[in-house]
Amino acid sequence: MSKGQQKSFVVAGDAYAKIVMHINKYPYLAVNGVLLGSKSNGDAAIRIVDYIPFFHGATLAPMLEAAMMLVEERATEQQLSIVGYFHANELADDTELSPLAISIGSKISKQFAGACVLLGYLREGEGWHDKSKNFSLDEAYDTAQLASLAKDCQRLQDFDNHLEDASNDFFNLRLFEQPEPKKRK
């Protein structure tokens, strides 16, 4: 988004896992969300530490504004910034940014210089690939771990799910916690 020197981004494993889960939960719908992170003064890279999933399917302006306000508040509490936007199109072979993605990315870049827009997509047998040299994963996930995440994707909640039932936590604070073992009688 910014002109001049390109920023580099390091994506934390849990943020990447949430992106993969969101795409897999709704493989035939467009999905989107925002990326939270920070840039320390001595570090050239922007660290993306969390992904907050917003919508699957249509994105309506009033709902987007509500989601952004809630995320901005949470980011401030955690001393983070909204550093980017993630979007996966409905069709796997549509690898262009939508006008919506460009608009949201532009608005985020006004608040955070050097913000990014990540475009993700799934292709059968290929998985999700980033062709940019400016992104790297903080922690590697092997194929077995990604397959496990794909199976477990129903646990992930996005803002659409939260609108349907307010008890659905779209921040997914407990997503990676191990469930309590069931007690035997």
Q: What's the pLDDT at 130?
A: 47
Q: Are strands 116-120 and 31-38 parallel, antiparallel or unpaired?
A: unpaired
Q: What's the pLDDT at 123?
A: 45
Dihedral of CA 40/45/47/51: which sign? positive
Domain ranges of the chain: 8-164
Q: What's the pLDDT at 148?
A: 79
Q: What is the CATH number of domain 8-164?
A: 3.40.140.10
Reported pTM: 0.85
Helix axes 143-151, 13-25, angle to 10 degrees: 50
Q: pLDDT below 70 — which residues of the chain?
A: 1-6, 40-43, 121-133, 140, 142-143, 179-185
pLDDT tens-digit readout, 35-77: 999 976 666 789 999 999 999 999 999 999 999 999 999 999 9
